[in-house]
Amino acid sequence: MAVAIAEFFQLQHPLYALVGAVIVSDLSPSETRQLGLRRLAGSVLGAAVGAAISYGLPPAPWAIGMSVLVAMFLSSLLRLQGAARVTGYVCGIVVLGHGDHPWSYGFYRLIETTLGVGIAILVSFVPKLIPVDATKQQDS
């Protein structure tokens, strides 16, 4: 669903919407919903840290690793519990592929990832739409 929406809006890399949805989804739908806003904040933090670090470091493996570590540390420091993975992920992709315009690149990765996070949160409501009694009757 995230990829289809990203393609409909002709976003640059719909794959990041898919990865964003997968990385924030939890086995527990209620956990996905509870941590959704923190994970969105983590996406913003990751994009900002990645863009800022991109000015001083090349997109080398050691720089990507260091930037992910810094982003995840800041996520923890800011008490964005449950957001460290998405913070590190967004930061890493910004440092890896920023080109000459890290803030612009970071903004578009943030949009795509936020779309994925939003879809994951919406999908987490699906189990609430299925009546418990109907599920038990199907199992019989």
Instruction: Yes or no: say if 90 and 43 are a contact pair by the CB < 8 Å rule.
Output: yes
Burial grade of 135 (CB within 10 A; 0-12, 13-18, 19 or more): exposed
Q: Enter the tokens of residue 1.
A: 């669903």
Q: Is the pTM value of this prediction over 0.75?
A: yes
Q: Return the domain boundaries, the chain.
A: 2-127
* pLDDT beyond 90 at 133: no
Q: Enter the tokens of residue 18.
A: 């898919």
What's the pLDDT tens digit per position in 50-95?
A: 999 998 888 889 999 999 999 999 999 999 988 898 899 889 989 9
What's the pLDDT tens digit per position in 7-24?
A: 999 998 899 899 888 888
